[in-house]
Structures are given as C-alpha cells and as structure tokens.
Amino acid sequence: MSFDLDKIRRDFPILSTEMNGKPLVFLDSAASSQKPKSVIDTIRKYYEAENANIHRGVYALSQKATEKYEMTRIKASRFIGAACAKVVIFTRNTTESINLVAQSWGRTNIHEGDEIVLTELEHHSNLVPWQMLAQEKQAVLKFIPLNQDSTLDLSNLDEIITERVKLVAVAQMSNVTGTIHDLSSIIRRAREVGAKVLVDGAQGICHLPTNVQKEDFDFYAFSAHKMLGPTGVGILYAKEEILDTMPPWMGGGDMISKVWKDKSTYADLPARLEAGTPNISGVIGFGAALEYLESVGMQEIRNHELELLQYALDRLDDFGGLELYGTTDLSKRGGVISFNFPGVHPHDVGSILDEEGIAIRVGHHCAQPFMDFKGIAGTCRASFYLYNTKEDVDSLLVGLKKVKEIFGRVLKR
C-alpha cells in the first residue's frame, strides 16, 4: 500500500484511546512500538484456533503451528536480506541475541589480551555482555570516541581497530540521539585486521532499509517489539560459516540430535541455538508485523520520519530554552530526539507531559557512558514511528510550554 497516514493510524487501536483523560500522544516507540490490529488478531487466532507446541508433534494442529512459526523465519530472513532462513536464530530480544554471541562465539574466540572495540554511545545491552566476557577472558575493551554532536569520531580508527581486535560491536542507530553510524568505514577497517563485526540493530531495523549481506554484517541483533511485533521475540542473524562454529549456549529440548546418559550430540542450525519451547505465538505474530512493514515500505517509513524529524527539530529550536542532543545532519539521524530543560529534572518533564496524555521516555536510556560523556544524569526522549503525525509534535510543544510555565515560576524563586 502507499503511505496513507490516516489509514495507518486506524490500524493501531491504541491510538484512539486516552491517557489520563486526554487523547494519547505516543512518542515512545524507541522503547517499544505499538501494534497494528493485524498483529493482535494473528496472536488471538493462534490461541483461539491454532495453539499447539511445534516441531515434535505429528498431529495436524502442531504441524500447522510449526509451519507458521517457520514461515516467520523465512519472512525475517527476506526482510533483512539474509542468504537463507537457517541463519535466523530466534531469541527473546536483542539483549539475549548479543549475550548468545558473547557466550557462544565469544567464549570460543576471545582470549587473554584480545581486544573488543565498542563505542561510547552503546546501549547497555551492547556493553555489559562484553564487559562480562572481557573480565572472564582477561580481554581488553576499547572505545571509539564521540564528537560533540554525538557522531562517532573515526579520525583514529586505524589506531583503535588493530590486529589485536577480534570483535567490533556497534549500534546501527543510537537509541538516545538517533545517530545513524557510519558502519561502512568501521567494517572496512575490521576486515583489514580480520575482526568480526556485530551490529546492534534494535533501533536501526525499525526505521532503515537493511540488507545484512550487502552491508557485510557478521552478526546482526534486533527485537520484534520495536518493529510492530510482540515482546519476547528477538532475532540473531549471523553468517552461516560463523554459526556453524558456534557451540550451544543453552542445553535442553529441541537443540539435540542424540542424548545418552553421559553425553549429547547437537542438532543442525538453527535448532542447535534454540533450546526449549519458544514464544510460538509471539514469533507467529511477528510474521504479521513483518508483512505490515513490507506493505508500507521501509523507505516510505524512513521518508515520513525524516519529514517529522525536521518539523520537530525546527519547532524545538524555535521554542527556546532547550538543550538538544545529536547531529543536525538528518542523513545521519533517525526519528529520535533527546533534550533537556536546564535546571529541570527529566522525570518532572515526563510527569507533566503524562498529565497531558503525552508519552515520552525519561532517564539514562540504558546508555550511562553517554550521559557521563555529556555530564548529565539523563534526558527527555521523544521518538517517532510510522503512525506519528505533525499534530503529535504540536501536542508535544504545547506540553513543553506548560513545563516552561510551571518551572519558569519555580526557577525564578
């Protein structure tokens, strides 16, 4: 379908509801997106008419559930441009996907003195697992620094990514500032020294057309719940030759080939890395989310968000009294805006906006090293998605005017 914003909004039941007696203005999609009716109906249908465990049942209901579950794997592989479906591993979320890489590939390939390169703008999910692995293996963490506009400072990339580096782990797009990183330069340098590259796609996949083969990602991790799907479903993509070398992280049902009392052999991909009963309804619901995104078109979504982003940044700049974070170059930015009222705690801003029916995110956004870099405790964050409107931005400005009026009086005392 073409990008029909009115129709898109009608597809999301929650957008017609109220919050605190006011029409809901939802500006927190970077945390978790809302769900279209097609996803909700797909999950309801599964539980009402298709509920069965998958893979091991020989009866028709189980086979039908298995077929729909595995069809989502095929849809996901196509959506990200993977070579085949078996390189798509289902997890619970981006966090688990990254931990899977750290505990399986990392424990096998990272040794004492090896180096792991991150950036100062990573989500904790792409930092803490590497801290834990480095402590266990006595490896070294290194960081690509930031410019003041929150873009990566790649001027000394050759000195940071050296022959001792085994892995570079970097976000595709920042959840705090919306910065879209220059991954091509990083990947090019990693290839020169033989390092692998893991890309945290939790934010990028929602907003940007992505092709893991063309962009040459070794690992790519993302979550369904940020891209119209249900919570509890994550995806790990990795190149097949890498996955083939990765030992199981968790043991149990469905990941085995043969079990004796004293040993086991393991299943082929992808089952070897997917122990236990999965979130079947969630994965099937995610399939409906992928269909919805494809029907709208990821480039159309990107174009809509750029228009919203420009509209919002222009008005926030004119508003005055705000500190805005991130680059002004929209080609390097997604639909996320972080800001602060100097002298006003972000939680107070969020609480006042909540009274007006406006949902934003406040705090450190699981990116405390970035907050340390900026010398702040946290920010207010408004994030846009395909269902947001310029009227949502206008409502945000009205809410911020109320914040200014309240705290203008307080700060003058």
Exposed / middle / buried, residue 181 (Cβ in 10 Å: 0-12, 13-18, 19+): buried
Give the HSE-up count for residue 251: Cα atoms under 13 Å, Cβ half-sphere: 8
171 touches 95 (CB < 8 A): no
Whether 366 is catalytic is: yes
- CB contact at 8 A, 303 and 134: no
Q: Which residues contact 246 (CB under 8 A, 6 or more apart)?
A: 104, 105, 108, 238, 273
CA torsion sign, 274 to 276 to 280 to 286?
Answer: negative
Residue 123 has, within 13 A of its CA and on its CB side, a CA count of 25
Catalytic residue among 84, 206, 366, 380: 366
Cis ω on the peptide bond leading into residue 342 (within 30° of 0)? no
Cβ-contact 203, 175 below 8 angstroms: yes
Beta strands in 94-178 (DSSP E): 115-119, 140-144, 165-171
Direct distance between the N- and C-terminal alpha carbons of the chain, in angstroms, rounded to an integer: 55
Cα 254 to Cα 92, 104, 248, distances in angstroms: 16, 18, 12
Active-site residue list = 366
